[in-house]
Each structure stands twice: as structure tokens, then as C-alpha cells.
Amino acid sequence: MKKMYIVLEDGHIFEGKGYGATGEAVGELVFTTGVVGYIETLTDAAYYGQVVLQTFPLIGNYGIIDEDTNGAKPVIKAYIAREICDMPSNFRCEGLLEDYLKENGIIAVCDVDTRELTKLVRENGAMNVCITENPKDVDLEELKAYEIKDALASVASNKKGYFEAEENKYSVAMLDCGATANAIEKLTDKGCNVTVFPYNTKASEILDGSFDGVVVSNGPGNPAENTDVIAEVAKLMAEKPVFGFGLGHQLMALAKGGQTSKMKFGHRGGSVPVRNAVDGKVFATHQNHGYVVSEIPSDAKVLFTNVSDKTNEGLEYANAFSIQFTPDCFSATVDTDKIYDKFISLMGGDK
């Protein structure tokens, strides 16, 4: 493997070994603390425009499993790990991480001091970074100027989709901002027929469909730049029960007059502690976001709060609610299954 360099916008340079695809990449450096779930990380649309750093020291030990990608393609700019396993051991393994990265054009760097790199991000905040063979050629001013723009339009599908439940009781519209297959599967398991609409669908089209409720999904980027989407979400919230998560949580808050802001380094990982504002119970959640609802709408009630930094993790409105974390993550299945039941209840269910 040839030498590759990680150049941060503040001038720090880290040396490592090239892995995966070849070339050069520029993006926003963020870290995720997940011990497992690297396949889901690689295929999470919320990482659009970012260079993802894994804090766990060994990645790739169970190879690539197509089912765990949820059918999605990676949208990350590049990938960084301390050590990448070339001899995975798992009965579900279908291929090597290296081959997967090459096939999808993802540049990666390994043999890097990821601990020190993570400390820099924690201390200084998310920074832009360039992955290159020629660190002396990097223009730091140009690197600092890099911005992630039009993230939602870049990752969301422009196609409608329909998913039928075996025992259908409800009809749900999902506004696709980068929706995960897991959320759709969970809704159909709960008896919901799900019609997926592109993120830029007008509220009038959805309201004409006689749906029992609407879901606003997760996605990437700065929520405040999606002004047209926010306006349509406001119309939906005025007419239907609405449930949002991730980016959907932020869009709903903006639609109700709240504010969002960029975090220092975000929440990304599979064991982020969240406290239920009703009963005080704390449970682990999966999260991936760099923006947060910083000003709560006047007509909203707090549902969840982050234990570590006290940021908002959930809001409830008259006929709608939203959460910042992923409702179907494997690390909190038992506790967060009730999230879907709450949405069912809003649509007239008995739970």
C-alpha cells in the first residue's frame, strides 16, 4: 500500500497507507464511535460530503454483508481507520471491505493515529480535510472554504415507492430525505402501508392521498437551507399526524418557528445516551447528526434530552412529534419500538 496523507485545514498532517479506491478527496472530517455497524455507517446518507473517521481501532472484521447496506450506495467522501481487517470471520460475510470500497470509488486511509486525530476534532470541532498523496500541494485557504451544499438534493431519491404491510391497518406517506429501509420495514411490521415520496413533493399531493399520517425521514446537511421543504412540512403538520426523525426532527422544528445550529463535532455513534423527559429513563441510541435544534418552538414540549450535553433529542406538538436519534437502531430496539407505537396512536391506533 502506498503512502497517503490526511491534511487538516489547520495545517496538521497525518501519514497513513492508501486503501480502497485511489485518488484525492476533500470533505468535512467527522468521527463516529460505533464499535460495530461500519457497513451501516458507510451507507448512511447523512454522511454526505464528509470524511468519516472510525474511532474503534479495528474495522472490517466481519467483511461486507449486502443485506446490511439496506440497498444504499456510499455517499461519503473518504474513510479513515486505524486498522482494516483483510481476513474477516463471519458466517454472513460476502466480501472484503477493501473490494467494496474500490467498487464504490471510496478512498480510504489506514495505519493512522485515529486517537490523536479524534482528539483534534473534539478540541477544535469538525474541520475540512484533504486526502492526498501530495500534502505540499494542498491550498489550506481553499480547503477551509469547502462547504457541503445541496446535500438533500444530492442523496434523496426522485422516485416514488410503495411498500405493503401483510396486515395493513394504516396508510402512511413518507417524505424521503434519505430514508432508510429499516424505518420502512418497521412501519410495515406495524401494519402500515408506506408510500414513499421524493423530498420535494408538494404537501398538496400528499394531502390529496388520504393518508392517515406522514413520516419525515432522516437525511444529510444543513436543515435550514431546505426552505422549500420546511414550508411544505409546515402544511403537513397543520393537517396530519406527523412523525419525524433525524433531519426530519430538525425540519419540523424549523417549520414550527424553531431554530437549528451547527454543533462543534456532532453526535455520531451507536451508544449515545438519551433521557426520556416523562419518566427520566435513560437509554442508548444510534445517532448521526452535526446540527441540533437550538431554539425550541413555543408550542413544543420536550420529549428527550441528551444526557451528555443537554441538547434537545425530541419534541412533541399538538398532533405530531419528532426525535433526533434513529428509531429503529439495533442498540435500542426494545426501548425505541414504542416510538412507532406512539405514531400509531396519533393515527388512531390503540397503543
CB atoms within 10 A of CB 127: 19
Per this entry, what is the length of the chain? Answer: 351
Looking at the chain, the whole-number percentage of residues with pLDDT higher than 90 is: 83
Q: Tell me the CATH number at 262.
A: 3.40.50.880
Helices 227-239, 247-255: axis angle to 10 degrees equals: 80
pLDDT of residue 100: 96
Is residue 141 located within the same domain as residue 199? no
pLDDT of residue 73: 87
Is residue 32 located within the same domain as residue 161? no
Is residue 114 located within the same domain as residue 250? no
The greatest distance separating any two alpha carbons of the chain, rounded to the nearest whole angstrom, comes to 64
pLDDT of residue 335: 55
Mean pLDDT of 343-349: 92
Model confidence at 350: pLDDT above 90: no
Q: What mean pLDDT is reported for the chain?
A: 93
* Distance of alpha carbon 327 from alpha carbon 215, whole angstroms: 12
Q: Tell me the CATH number at 39.
A: 3.50.30.20
179 vs 174, higher pLDDT:
174
Is residue 245 located within the same domain as residue 135? no
Model confidence at 180: pLDDT above 80: no
Final residue of a structural domain among 133, 148, 163: 148
Torsions phi, psi for 75 (to 5 deg): -120, 5
Final residue of a structural domain among 106, 124, 148: 148
Model confidence at 330: pLDDT above 60: no
Mean pLDDT of 47-59: 96
Is residue 37 located within the same domain as residue 59? yes
pLDDT of residue 264: 95
Is residue 269 located within the same domain as residue 339? yes
pLDDT in tens, 227-248: 999 999 999 999 999 999 999 9
Mean pLDDT of 53-67: 95
pLDDT in tens, 187-212: 999 999 999 999 999 999 999 998 99
- With respect to residue 9, please indicate whether it lies within any of the assigned structural domains: yes
What is the extent of the structural domain holding 195? Answer: 152-346
Is residue 120 located within the same domain as residue 210? no
Q: What is the pTM of this model?
A: 0.94
- Between 88-97, 163-172, 176-185, the lowest mean confidence (pLDDT) is in 176-185
The C-alpha angle with vertex 345 and arms to 318 and 171, in degrees rounded to 5, equals 100
pLDDT band at 333 (very low <50, low <70, confident <90, very high): very low
343 vs 349, higher pLDDT:
343
pLDDT in tens, 268-308: 998 899 999 989 988 888 899 999 999 999 999 999 999 99
215 vs 156, higher pLDDT:
215
- With respect to residue 351, please indicate whether it lies within any of the assigned structural domains: no
Is residue 85 located within the same domain as residue 230? no
Final residue of a structural domain among 126, 148, 170: 148
Q: Provide the number of structural domains found in the chain.
A: 2
Is residue 142 located within the same domain as residue 203? no
CB 326, CB 246: distance < 8 Å: yes
* Distance of alpha carbon 297 from alpha carbon 302, whole angstroms: 10
Question: How would you write the chain as a 3-class SS string?
Answer: CCEEEEEECCCCEEEEEEEEECCCEEEEEEEECCCCCHHHHHCCHHHCCEEEEECCCEECCCCCCHHHHCCCCCCCCEEECCEECCCCCCCCCCCCHHHHHHHCCCEEEECCCHHHHHHHHHHHCCEEEEEECCHHHCCHHHHHCCCCCCHHHHHCCCCCEEECCCCCCEEEEEEECCCCHHHHHHHHHCCEEEEEEECCCCHHHHHCCCCCEEEECCCCCCHHHCHHHHHHHHHHHHHCCEEEECHHHHHHHHHCCCEEEEEEEEEEEEEEEEEECCCCCEEEEEEEEEEEEEECCCCCEEEEEECCCCCEEEEECCCEEEECCCCCCHHHHHHHHHHHHHHHHHCCCCC
- Between 79-88, 90-99, 140-149, 157-166, the lowest mean confidence (pLDDT) is in 157-166
Q: Hey, what amino acid is at 49?
A: G
Is residue 144 located within the same domain as residue 157? no
- With respect to residue 293, please indicate whether it lies within any of the assigned structural domains: yes
